[in-house]
Amino acid sequence: MSFEIKLPFFEGPFDLLLFFIERDELDIHDIPISQVTEDFLSYIRQLEQMNIEVASEFILVAATLMRIKAKMLLPRPVLNEEGEEIDPREELVKHLLEYKKYKSVIKELADMEEDRARKQERGNLIQEVRKLSEANNVEAELQDVTLYKLLKVFERVTARFELKQREKPHKVVQYPYTIAGQREHIISKLGNRERMSFLEIIQQDLNKIAVIFNFLAILELLQLNEISLQVGEGFNNFWVLQKKEDVSV
């Protein structure tokens, strides 16, 4: 027996984000970015498993959500000129509110369009039939076709075809990394050791994406209070330390 999985269709990434917010009754001004990011990435993974091509705007928003999540994990917040803390979600919330405002009038405009399409203009039937016949008179159109015009059209089509052939296809690579997986990997590598340097962690896989995931995993472990950091001198010179449990006497 085969099972068919149907996913709801969303017009764009902001439509999907609004769906998650309304479904879980979240405050759009205080979005739990971690929860929304996981839901968003889960939806994209389901599309990929069903061999559905993921639009570039969905991938862009997914990257934006991960960037916001990373900023919120950083221990030191970013401040503006007045010394006030900048919320990394501020720009996303602004775009969502603007999209929600325009989305609220789409249904009304669609109803107006459908109502207008049902109406017919009153006019002279004979004149309307004559206009239709003139617009579809193929013989009249062919009278103005010359060899020069045909060659020009052929030249434009050939140039367009050659330009299309030179275009490089954009390939999206699916990397086998997750933040949860890298967290487990780091804890496993740390084992019974007291500490391990950041350089040692990234040298195990020098792929740029792997380095990013390892760094985000370290930030999450730090936030979860499962590790601590010891900063040394130089660039990228710090160690990941086992979190020592407090022993009360």
Do 100 and 211 fall within a single domain?
Answer: no
Do 117 and 187 fall within a single domain?
Answer: no
Residue 134 has pLDDT above 60, yes or no: yes
Residue 10 has a pLDDT of 66
* 248 domain residue, yes or no: no
Structure tokens at 27: 């405050």
Residues 6+ apart with CB under 8 A from 36: 17, 20, 21, 26, 65
* 249 domain residue, yes or no: no
Count up the domains in the chain and report the number: 2
* 41 domain residue, yes or no: yes
Do 32 and 61 fall within a single domain?
Answer: yes
**Mean of the pLDDT values across residues 35-49?**
85
Domain containing 222: what range? 179-242
Do 226 and 129 fall within a single domain?
Answer: no
Q: In angstroms, how far is CA 80 from the centroid of its own chain?
A: 27
Residue 245 has a pLDDT of 58
Do 92 and 187 fall within a single domain?
Answer: no
Do 64 and 87 fall within a single domain?
Answer: yes
Residue 89 has pLDDT above 70, yes or no: yes
Residue 120 has a pLDDT of 65
Give the C-alpha separation, 232 to 230, whole Å: 7
CATH number, domain of 220, equals: 1.10.10.580
